Structure 1
């Protein structure tokens, strides 16, 4: 098929959203589809560096961005500015989408990266012109229980309250309803988002994790899990940004209830680091907590592979690359039963109830204690985590599931990649 892929973030060799955009582009090519990627100029240098030896066959990249003065203004607003810039880009790029659709016949159009159920989407133009439109994977439907808000600090609590209000208002957002009505299939990253998409009026909704890993990365992680010796004392690994909703605060409270010989390695950085260091000292566990800051990817993987458990109690998160990487290396994840990480930990990990902070901390402590003190249970979960990673998080499975749900295969396409416009 010939596919138009809208990937606001798209860059090779990166994790998170940019890596996800590039992953979808290359996975579609490997599945045999000609792929046209529409992305921001922000990623042009990295993409062209990766294609210095010649672009991959059947890959075409188109760039579009907002005026530099407007982009700079959004950057000054911080986090909210990033979301406003994303929404305005989706509106402004519609003219470019129409130009591409008039010049080339596409068999499918798919919107990925930063896809939120409440935000506008430029590819509704494709649906209007009769091109089957796939929306997602889409996230953003996850809301942490209000009981956790006071523990986040004033600024983060206000942000969570604003997200809650947005969720309540979402059924009346005309652009969100228009996107839901236009898509042939909506791909929800989590069960919570699936409920939101159904309420918006999407005709077909499937749940599929937005996280996928390349075959060579899966193989490397599996090899590290088998060859890197497990550290003594037992090492618990936190891998993620240090933001209030990412759950590092809960991680400290949970490990403070452990006895015996253990250590918590925190890989990542962010505005919460100072608070976490002070809290570890007040809990009397500062000597057992090591803050590594940000590490190169392979160094972080090797450290993770030497660990016993990935501890990632995020309060709301659509994805969870660290969870997939840990499971590929045979590390059972311990998460809250919320959002993407909670759903991903269902096989090969432990997701604990999280209605209230005290319940969550108690459940996390009990889960960690069992995996430290019961080798047989740890080994069983480790085997289950590593054994299923390829099927659950491989790119071929992701592409196959999404395009089958949309009723699109190479044979069913209206044209083939070799046909002219």
Structure 2
């Protein structure tokens, strides 16, 4: 099959959207498809080195270059939005040029995974698969105090989201044109339906390479101290102060230590939070660490505690499950759909006081019941094995086969 991928974010050996973009391109090519993948010039050197090393003749990375003044937008707050819009226009022009020579069988938009931003490639009038995508999730206002000054950014994001849904033709028309829209959480599924998606389907966007897993399942011997792990970027929406507040409320007899791995814009707040919640001696913040140390932390911990306030689908959950860790999180957004019910405790969001109380109670429960921790960890590990990149792309390949059969009359939105 002659396949066109759109991956604005793409780079090998990276996490989040960049890693997703690369893995979609690599693994669809490994299935034997002739793959052309549109991306930005960001990370070009590492991409070209990896493509050369792999020597896959059917993987073609196409760099869409933009004027220097457009790339400079990235340096400014909210500059991503105009930069991505401009790139979409350039990507469509390049795709149109390529299609005249190649005649693609199908178009698949993989990154950025934002429903509101859409894709300009609906204009090619080819069978289109959009996603997996997020974008429909909103942070609960009941927990806004944990954003500190970042709550203003959340309000601005919501305003921009509604404007894009109303004014960005690449959002609505992509939804209406797409043969299939893959959404990574229920919130985005509902939004896709609201703006006219004809065929939305739930589909997790988080996957792991086979070599990520430990050589053997990590068996843990219960200890009197519960070793808790938090991994993530220090953004306001990642909810670290909520976790710290909850830990400050657990019973005095519960012995625990929390390891925090990650850095980011909220860096300066962390020492203040530790002071505020009187957690000295119980929290070890290591900042950004090498990937091997992250894996060692997964292996050496008893529990993964991560209560993001807005996330389409956090990869850390799948990573933690791959190392047999039970999960405590909020019953919200991506976590609601990604974490199996028998692999952890998903705390309902209510008032700030009640949510904190429920998280603390979940920690106490898993402290008291090491056998339950073990069972949840085993269940999560089994689930994670179903979410490898190989299995994910084999699944998507079934969609490719199905939706290349779409007839021109079924592509209802005209350019």
Q: Same fold (TM over 0.5)?
A: yes
Please state if 1:385 is matched with 2:377. no
CA distance in 2: counterparts of 1:335 and 1:262, whole angstroms: 17
User: Which deviations, in whole Å up to 9, do the C-alpha atoms of 1:122-179 show, x marking residues without a partner?
Assistant: 22123x2xx210011111100112222233123x111211233344455533332111
Distance in structure 1 (CA, Å) of the matches to 2:219 and 2:228: 18
**What do you get for the CA RMSD once the two structures are aligned?**
2.1
Name which of 289, 298, 309 aligns with 2:283.
Answer: 289
- 1:101 is matched with which residue? 99
1:152 is matched with which residue: 147, 164, 169? Answer: 147
| Alpha-carbon separation, structure 2, partners of 1:231 and 1:143 | 38
The answer for the alignment partner of 1:204 in structure 2 is 199
Deviation at 1:382, TM superposition (A): 0.8
Q: Aligned partners of 2:96 and 2:379: how far apart in 1?
A: 47
In structure 2, what is the Cα distance between the partners aligned to 1:84 and 1:237?
37
- Equivalent position SS for 2:218: helix
> 1:335-369: per-residue Cα shift (whole Å, max 9, x none)?
11111123212341221101322222112111111
Query: Superposed, which structure 2 residues align to 1:19-418 within 5 Å?
Result: 19-53=19-53, 55-72=55-72, 74-78=73-77, 80-126=78-124, 128=125, 131-154=126-149, 156-169=150-163, 171-173=165-167, 174-217=169-212, 219-220=213-214, 223=216, 225-226=217-218, 233-258=225-250, 259=252, 260-347=254-341, 348-391=343-386, 393-405=387-399, 408=402
Contact 2:328 2:359 in 1 (8 A): yes
Structure 1 120/384 Cα, relative in aligned 2: closer, same or farther at 3 Å?
A: closer
Q: 3-state DSSP class of the match of 1:66?
A: coil
Three-state SS of the structure 2 residue aligned to 1:32 is: coil
Q: Deviations over 1:255-289 (max 9, x none)?
A: 11223221010000012122221121122112111
SS at match of 1:408: helix
SS in 1 for 2:329: strand
User: Is the 8 Å Cα contact of residues 337 and 353 (structure 1) preserved in structure 2?
Assistant: yes
Structure 1 residues without counterparts, runs of 5 or longer:
415-421
* Cα-to-partner distance string for 1:305-349 (whole Å, 9 max, x where unaligned): 211111110011112111110001101121111111232123412
Could you tell me the TM-score, scaled by structure 2's length? 0.91
CA distance in structure 2 between the aligned counterparts of 1:199 and 1:170, rounded to whole angstroms: 14
Unaligned stretches of 5+ in structure 2? Answer: 408-415
SS in 2 for 1:304: helix
- Partners of 1:48 and 1:2 in 2: how far apart? 21
Distance 2:90 2:221 in 1: 52
How many Å separate the matches in 1 of 2:114 and 2:260? 29
1:419 aligned residue = none
